[in-house]
Amino acid sequence: MLKTKFSALLSLLLVLVSGMLVGGFLYRLYNVSVVAAPNSARKADPEEARKHIVADMRDHLKLDNRQVDQLQQIFDETRDQFHQMHDRMNAEGQALHNGQIEKVKAILRAEQLPLYDHWRAERERERKQHRENEKK
């Protein structure tokens, strides 16, 4: 009887200790994964990234001050070109979208046009709300 109680106590203690070890390991693994995950809510600042890139290039490539100024000018020009391209793409995309709306309206009957306009307005509200929620 004593041996059976001791065996049961030892088994219970072994299960308890193994559960604590596995739980501790999984808790640690979960916390490391959560902390190491990138913060998607915070958007990277392009100017901070640029400063980091320039400093990194200055150190690794041993750039002198004249070269750093030239590099800054190259980055400025490239940024301006990207902004211009982005603006052109937005204008072209908006023109395509407006063309699509006009084509859809052309196939609808007169009584469907107000329903379509209402549907589009609702979709636009949902889209704006979704964008605002993403910013938070």
Whether residue 8 has pLDDT greater than 70: yes
Whether residue 85 has pLDDT greater than 60: yes
Please, what is the average pLDDT of the chain? 87
Whose CA is closest to 53, among 86, 78, 32, 84? Answer: 78
The answer to whether residue 14 is domain-embedded is yes
The answer to whether residue 108 is domain-embedded is no
Burial class (CB in 10 A: 0-12, 13-18, 19+), 58: middle
- Alpha-carbon 66 to chain mean position: 36
Which domain range does residue 31 map to? 1-38
Overall domain count for the chain: 1
Average pLDDT over residues 9-28: 88
Whether residue 76 has pLDDT greater than 90: yes
- What's the whole-model pTM score? 0.52
Instruction: State which amino acid sits at residue 90.
Output: N
Least confident of 5-19, 28-42, 122-136: 28-42
The answer to whether residue 99 is domain-embedded is no
The answer to whether residue 102 is domain-embedded is no
The answer to whether residue 115 is domain-embedded is no
Percentage above 90 pLDDT, the chain: 59
pLDDT class of 38 with cuts at 50, 70, 90? low
